Amino acid sequence: MNYKLTLAFDGKEYSGWQFQKNAPTVQGKLTEVANKFFSSSATVTGCSRTDSGVHAENYVCNVKTDREISPTGVVKGMNTFLPPDIVIKECEIVPDTFHARYDCKSKEYRYKILNTETRDPFLASRVLHFPQPLDVEKMKKDAESLVGKHDFVSFMATGSKITDTVRTIYKAEVEENDGIITFSVSADGFLYNMVRIIVGTLIDVNLNRTSLTIKEIIEKKDRTYAGFTAGPSGLYLYKAEY
Amino acid sequence: MNYKLTLAFDGKEYSGWQFQKNAPTVQGKLTEVANKFFSSSATVTGCSRTDSGVHAENYVCNVKTDREISPTGVVKGMNTFLPPDIVIKECEIVPDTFHARYDCKSKEYRYKILNTETRDPFLASRVLHFPQPLDVEKMKKDAESLVGKHDFVSFMATGSKITDTVRTIYKAEVEENDGIITFSVSADGFLYNMVRIIVGTLIDVNLNRTSLTIKEIIEKKDRTYAGFTAGPSGLYLYKAEY
């Protein structure tokens, strides 16, 4: 059987999604729980890697195992074994060929900036606390110029071995609520650290730390013209579409 | 100098407010930071003890030290030394006689119940997750009968040595938002575990686990008639009035 699971997790205590031998990871924890729950070896495939400390609202993975249990049973049963910082929200049975990564058509990330003078202890590992006031209206307009099919190599962490750096951004929106600025971005794919570098660049452009616009930084095709890499705590994998 | 500080803290990692020799406490952490920041011995007095895992939105304490620094300087300076789960929101200089506990006229606690089938990993240590559906309108009415001057001994943890168990509850309100039921209660004082036992009792009465009403349970003056002690994660010291 092949189960498609939708999860939410608080990434604070995990070294990202991808299994590692000597560090706690979400994939590692989920595989351990699936093996126990199905009393059978299970293979867990995620829609994407995530960095250490990054969160997810609706992360999709598929679990292959030879046991058949109802989707409701999988949700209830696995949730009793999972730790409080990981929860399965939905489960459906999908064809054997379904692959959470290869079949993913687009993903949406959200990045939260707490733009208040005082930090919030309840959001400590959940946002980027940035006390210097940001111009939200300007950020909205700057974000718009990210939309479209572009070579986003300026926003890729150096050291990445990817050579095809063209991606299509479908949506890049900014909104502010109760001092939290949320940047939402969906695309057919993302380069390594792309969202975090875009956020750092939006902040740098917002504060006139660079004379270039977002459009000009894209055109430079050079990482050194983009901004800082915003920390992982503010980043959420929000959705994966199939 | 005597400084009145208003703090917020996430209590997850602390064994409550009150200093303990071999456990991390909020008072312990604050004293350590105050000593370092003022480069002088500081005495930190809180408005109330809190249990392990209990949070605070606006906890008041006073810090006595022989150094004089501006309130803005205290907020900024101490916050740079404090860990991410404790923050000073306000500081004011008060007369030497001000005592955070003795001068406190009333306190307000809030208790959050996540009343949804699925738990939320981002609220794991911040709410009581109670999946069985609760009747919010009934709970609102039940809470009303707590208001007034009563002997609340039915809602005091056994083993407490307090003998005067009469308290005045000024407000006891229930509201629901996005699946979170918040119970707000203010009083001139609270008995040990009083809010947590009241919440457990409101739940038990709501689900008809007892045939008694809140009013009848108060009148019994006997802990055994009240409900379970709801866990600490849902409890927040919301405000202290002077």
Question: What is the structure's pLDDT at A160?
Answer: 84
* Residue B173 and residue B187 in contact, taking contact as beta carbons nearer than 8 Å: no
For residue A159, pLDDT beyond 90: no
Q: Write the pLDDT tens digit of every residue in B47-91.
A: 999 999 999 999 999 999 999 999 999 999 999 999 999 999 999
B144 by Cβ neighbours in 10 Å (0-12 / 13-18 / 19+) ranks as middle
Q: Which tens digit of pLDDT belongs to each residue from A163-190?
A: 999 999 999 999 999 999 999 999 999 9
B152 CA to centre of own chain = 17
Instruction: Say whether pLDDT at A161 is over 90.
Output: no
Say whether pLDDT at A48 is over 90: yes
Of B10, B51, B204, B222, catalytic: B51
Using an 8 Å CB-CB cutoff, list chain A residues near B9.
121
From residue B8, alpha-carbon distances to A55, A182, B30, B58 in Å are: 23, 23, 12, 5
Contacts of A10 in chain B (CB under 8 A): 121-122, 124
Q: How far is CA B23 from CA B20, B50, B130, B192, in A?
A: 6, 14, 29, 21
Contact A81, A38 (CB under 8 A): no
Q: What is the mean pLDDT of chain A?
A: 97
**Quick one: pLDDT at residue B228?**
97
- Residue B200's identity, in one-letter code, is G
| Nearest Cβ partner for A8 among B55, B75, B121 | B121
Q: Which residue of B has its CA nearest to A7?
A: B121
| Residue owning tokens 């009303």 | B144
pTM: 0.92
> CB pairs below 8 Å between A and B: how many?
48
The secondary element (H helix, E strand) that includes residue B227 is none
Q: Are A185 and A167 in contact (CB under 8 A)?
A: no
Chain B 7-36, CB below 8 Å of chain A: which residues?
8-10
Burial of B25 (0-12, 13-18, 19+ CB in 10 A): buried
pLDDT at A33 over 90: yes
Question: Is some CB atom of chain A closer than 8 A to the CB atom of B87?
Answer: yes
Give the separation between CA B184 and CA B235, rounded to whole angstroms.
10
Q: How confident is the model at residue B27 (pLDDT cuts 50, 70, 90)?
A: very high
Q: Please report which residue ranges of chain A form alpha helices under DSSP H.
A: 26-38, 71-81, 136-144, 194-206, 214-220
- pLDDT over 70 percentage in chain A: 100
* A120–B9 CB contact, under 8 Å: no
Distance, in Å, from the CA atom of B149 to the CA atom of B187, rounded to the nearest integer, reads 9
Query: How far off is chain B from A121, nearest CA to CA, in Å?
Result: 4
Q: Which residue of B has its CA nearest to A87?
A: B121
Residues in chain B with CB shorter than 8 Å from the CB of A85 are 121, 124
Q: Is A240 helix (H, G, I), strand (E, B) or coil?
A: strand
- Return the exposure string of A3-15: e unless at least 16 CB atoms fall within 10 Å of the residue's CB, then b: bbbbbbbbbbebb
Terminal alpha carbon distance of chain B: 19
The more confidently predicted of residues B44 and B163 is B44
Residue B142 appears among annotated catalytic residues: no
Beta strand segments in B17-154, E: 43-46, 55-64, 86-94, 106-114, 128-129, 148-151
> Beta-carbon neighbour count of residue A48 at 10 Å?
20
What is the predicted pLDDT for the residue at A223?
97
User: Which of B57, B108, B117, B125 minimizes the C-alpha distance to B242?
Assistant: B108
- The confidence band for B161, taking pLDDT boundaries of 50, 70 and 90, is confident
Question: Would the CA dihedral through A26, A27, A32, A36 be positive or negative?
Answer: positive
Note the pLDDT of residue B159.
Answer: 85
For chain A, how many helices (H) and strands (E)?
Answer: 5, 10
Q: Is A126 on the interface with B (CB under 8 A)?
A: yes
